[in-house]
Structure 1
């Protein structure tokens, strides 16, 4: 979620220009502003779950449990909601400022909490619960994080949390791998996904809209996959959530309302969708080429990718 201004603020493009212009040009990881992302074959878009009250129902993150139910983080309502395959609301679970919702290897649902500036005085972390329960009861799995937002499990069941300080590695017993985490420090980490021996992370420090690859076995080894720009020429975008498909292609959501397709092998990027600000993205189980995307308005969009 991590925003500098209120959602929908007309000052957002100007603020990004100021940030871009005041960035230290000699910084080791600075780059020339990327060109606006070109359009590729457009996706078809519909509404999977409509917002009840726009913005108040802001859908910060979306994810599926092992039973195929959809879970939506309603960050301003301090709840995560469960929807069945028909789209009916079947459960509401209290979670303070919820972020990523991810199904764990143990079948439990893991939800990031504390995705708010208040985590500086009231740290966030991750709760977990049985998603199949009629009335799920969340319990704290790990805590002590500043503005955590994204989460991902690797093939071994290890959890990685993207927070303001960088990527945090959490062992299966809930303890933090401090040595690994110190090497993975990268201010402004936001979304994260695991694939093979790598983590892909969206980072919004300087510059905004950077996609990084982090080697799981050597987290100090970090390479830039792509730098995204907004629909405005030369203005960096805010990259939020991301997923990786079976072909190894990334799909990244941005504040300017783009769903960007990124090929990690080449860094090539194009937008399959441009519209309202997007917060999160998940693949629909059993439906190839279909994604669901969360939005700041609160709608959960159904996105059919071009074949």
Structure 2
């Protein structure tokens, strides 16, 4: 199964959505490329052991700067060293976003699986663990979500989770859900998520055109579309204050959240995840649909 069909099979809720997405792929207009978009140098950090079985749903760095990869179908997250070797694994069912918390623990969403749409399932939420432990043991931080996918922290320690089944969920530092805030963000199909300044940004995957939404933290009911981006998957805030979106069409898109200007940094196999490299103003890591992990350096 090719990566595009593979991703749709996992995420699509109805056959109508599949038809609409297929039509959109066939008719999507090309985006203009502004001259400010830099060239990139791409290198391989790690290669999938079993292509597609090693689908990398998300990427994240712990407080020590180690790279962690969510291997969705292996039901585990893996830690990599600078040579691309796996140095630790932690069992997490259907893992999604990996984010360092203000307490220096690592937070990982679980249950990123469309089976959770079945009645009575709802086995999704967030776990956390100490990434420096010899044998990290996950503990449940929040449960009862529908299909947790993307995530990000704000400056006050609130965790925002892109729940594909219900919308963006705000979780307080004590692990309780802010139901009043959350109720104002209902949007089926949200996927990637990044927090930047006073806003939460999230991608909406299951729409014919795809969208990148801005949700003001102080006024969550007033969401707005930043851009339409077909099959936008994961999302991160990165170098230059830009947003970077990985799409399962294979494009890595840079977005200016203020001017809404976009450009395509690279175009190759389907992409599943993107993360900014800590303490670097020119580097990102991305994951391909087959499970390879790449480093993308933004050239001067």
- 1:247 counterpart SS class: helix
Question: After TM superposition, what 4+ stretches of structure 1 lie above 4 angstroms from structure 2?
Answer: 14-17, 20-23
2:250 matches 1:257? yes
* Per-residue deviation, 1:113: 0.3
1:241-262, CA deviations, whole angstroms, 9 ceiling, x for partnerless residues? Answer: 1112253211100010000011
Q: Deviations over 1:66-103 (max 9, x none)?
A: 01111000001000001123332111100000000000
1:1-307 pair list within 5 angstroms: 5-7=5-7, 18-19=19-20, 35-39=29-33, 40-120=37-117, 121-164=121-164, 165-228=166-229, 237-307=230-300
Shift of residue 284 of structure 1?
1.3
In structure 2, the CA distance between the partners of 1:263 and 1:124, relative to structure 1 (3 Å rule), is same
Measured at CA, do residues 93 and 267 of structure 1 come closer, stay the same or move farther in structure 2, by a change above 3 Å?
same
State the Cα deviation string for residues 13-69 of structure 1 (Å, max 9, x = none). Answer: x9878316999xxxxxxxxx8632244443211111111111111111110000111
Where structure 1 has 5 or more consecutive residues not aligned to the other structure, the ranges are 24-32, 229-236
More helix by share: 2
Q: RMSD between aligned alpha carbons?
A: 2.4
Cα displacement (A) at 1:8:
8.9
Q: Distance in 2 between matches of 1:61 and 1:21?
A: 24
Task: Decide whether aligned partners of structure 1 residues 295 and 15 sit closer, same or farther in structure 2, where only a CA change above 3 A counts.
Answer: farther
Q: How far apart are the structure 2 equivalents of 1:78 and 1:140?
A: 16
TM-score of the two chains, using structure 1 as the length reference: 0.86
SS in 1 for 2:220: strand
Normalised to the residue count of structure 2, the TM-score between the two structures is: 0.88
How far 1:6 sits from its partner (Å)?
2.2
Q: Deviations over 1:88-146 (max 9, x none)?
A: 21111000000000000000000010000122314200000000011100011101111
Contact 1:290-1:305 within 8 A present in 2 as well: yes
Q: Is the 8 A contact 1:60 1:295 kept in 2?
A: no
CA distance in 2, matches of 1:170, 1:6: 31
Number of residue equivalences: 285
Q: What is the CA deviation profile of residues 220-267 of structure 1, one whole-angstrom value per residue up to 9, with x for unaligned ones?
A: 011110002xxxxxxxx2111111225321110001000001111121
Residue 232 of structure 1 aligns with which residue? none
Cα distance in 1 for residues equivalent to 2:156 and 2:262: 30
Mean Cα displacement is larger for which, 135-144 or 284-293?
284-293
Structure 2 residues without counterparts, runs of 5 or longer: none
